[in-house]
Amino acid sequence: MKNTLPLLLLFILSLSACVTLNETGQKKLLLTTTEQENQMGEEGYEEVLKTAKITKTEPVYSILQDVGSRIAAVANRPDFTWEYNLIDEDQLNAWCMPGGKIAVYTGILPFMKNEAGMAAVIGHEVAHATLRHSGQRISQEMGMSVILGVVSGGLQSSQNHDQIMGLLGAGATVGVMLPYGRKHETEADLIGLQYMARAGYDPQQAISFWERFAEITKGSAPPEFLSTHPGSGTRINDLQKHMSEAVALYKKAPKQYGQGRDLPTLPQTKKK
């Protein structure tokens, strides 16, 4: 009697194991449901925010709300409860957890440079979330028992806490870097480019962002955000290949913002 419940749950979960994703039309192996992923994202986010130094410095904070909500509007995920927070930390990092929980670190702002650069990064990170890359990684890397443990007992009590946080996208935050696979990166680049264009930002700025970002890989070891992302040459080529479609989407956007406002460099992120 006692053992029937996990088996039943396993059966119910297996029904959702192969789903077709709207954005790519491809079938993926998923052991988690979107509800479970969003719940994990929500818990993970709450946990990060508990210890992170949140800042509402203007005008960056308002710009983040504007860019974030414009990307959210085109991402079309009514099941997401979007949130955009700015974390005052000199980290080259940004992520979006399942459910639309976004964090941008002040350290990456100089490389974003303007609203469109921010839209390129947020578009890319949101695409990881809407394409359910975390769910796919959790399904592949963690056992069913871990998934059930997290959704029933909460992320904080999970023994695999750091790894799950890494799989959800907040790797650098917990010090466990779990890079997305090459395929996931390419997908996120492509869908992210479409998001930024449809949100009214000049898609060419995505290439400018990755070029600025590639500059810092010269010399010493790449920063964390970059080390989890593939080389810039191929990425820029791939973006270029899809640029004409993206420009067409940009022209059809209800409003064109171009590069948008420039982002001021915050005092604490100034490099000496």
Q: List residues binding Zn ion (CB under 5 A).
A: 180, 185, 188
Could you confirm whether 125 is annotated as catalytic?
yes
Task: Yes or no: say if 184 and 131 are a contact pair by the CB < 8 Å rule.
Answer: yes
Considering the complex, state which of residue 227 and residue 269 has its C-beta at the smaller distance from Zn ion: 227
Task: Yes or no: say if 133 and 23 are a contact pair by the CB < 8 Å rule.
Answer: no
Alpha carbon distance 180, 203 (integer Å): 23
To the nearest whole angstrom, how small is the minimum distance from the Cβ of residue 185 to Zn ion?
5
To the nearest whole angstrom, how small is the minimum distance from the Cβ of residue 229 to Zn ion?
5
Q: Could you say which of 42, 47, 125, 185 is catalytic?
A: 125
To the nearest whole angstrom, how small is the minimum distance from the Cβ of residue 129 to Zn ion?
11
Q: Which residues, other chains included, contact 155 with Cβ-Cβ below 8 Å and sequence gap of 6+?
A: 40, 43, 44, 47, 161, 164, 165
The β-bridge relationship of strands 101-105 and 83-87 is parallel
Considering the complex, state which of residue 148 and residue 236 has its C-beta at the smaller distance from Zn ion: 236
Rounded alpha-carbon distances, angstroms, from residue 87 to 37, 38, 120, 159, 240? 23, 21, 18, 26, 31
Considering the complex, state which of residue 115 and residue 185 has its C-beta at the smaller distance from Zn ion: 185
To the nearest whole angstrom, how small is the minimum distance from the Cβ of residue 169 to Zn ion?
9
Buried b / exposed e along 34-55 (16+ C-beta atoms within 10 A): bebbbbbbbbbbebbeeebeeb
Considering the complex, state which of residue 60 and residue 129 has its C-beta at the smaller distance from Zn ion: 129
Active-site amino acid positions: 125
